Amino acid sequence: MITAVEALQLPSAQLTDEEKAAADGLELLIEEHVRKGMGRNGVDLQVGMTNPKVIAEVNQRLKRAGWATQWSPIIERHKLNAALQNLTGFGLNLFPTDESYKEHERKQLS
């Protein structure tokens, strides 16, 4: 079986320049939202991004920065035909990991 590390090296797993730029933009949007609305429990926001590669890239960046993430698809139903659905974005629940809380507490004691 191919390892995940090997699979990530495949051409199909690489981001295009447009996807990299979209990930950078989404990361900035999230950072701005965190700076304005951070609570002890984290933040919730909705993003209009639907590209799964961009979401995966930003998700990994957030995890490396000490965040836990929960993404929920935002589905819009067609007004005339409820069977038709369209993904319009994602809801993101973003909160510090246990390790981030512990590190925060250590810094408060210093």
Contact 49, 88 (CB under 8 A): no
Question: Tell me, what's the pLDDT at 77?
Answer: 87
Q: Does residue 9 belong to any structural domain of this protein?
A: no
Q: What count of Cα atoms within 13 Å lies in the side-chain half-sphere of residue 45?
A: 21
Q: Does residue 11 belong to any structural domain of this protein?
A: no
Q: Does residue 5 belong to any structural domain of this protein?
A: no
Q: Does residue 52 belong to any structural domain of this protein?
A: yes
Q: Does residue 1 belong to any structural domain of this protein?
A: no
Say how many domains are in the chain. Answer: 1
Prediction pTM value: 0.89
Question: Tell me, what's the pLDDT at 38?
Answer: 96
Cα–Cα separations (whole angstroms), residue 2 to 8, 10, 57, 60, 83: 10, 11, 21, 21, 38
From the number of C-beta atoms within 10 Å of its C-beta (0-12, 13-18, 19+), residue 44 rates as middle
- Count each helix (H run) and each strand (E run) in the chain, helices first: 4, 3
pLDDT means per 10 residues, the chain with 110 residues, are 96 97 98 96 96 97 98 90 89 96 91
Q: Does residue 32 belong to any structural domain of this protein?
A: yes
Q: Does residue 54 belong to any structural domain of this protein?
A: yes
Q: Residue 67 belongs to what domain range?
A: 16-109
Question: Tell me, what's the pLDDT at 55?
Answer: 97
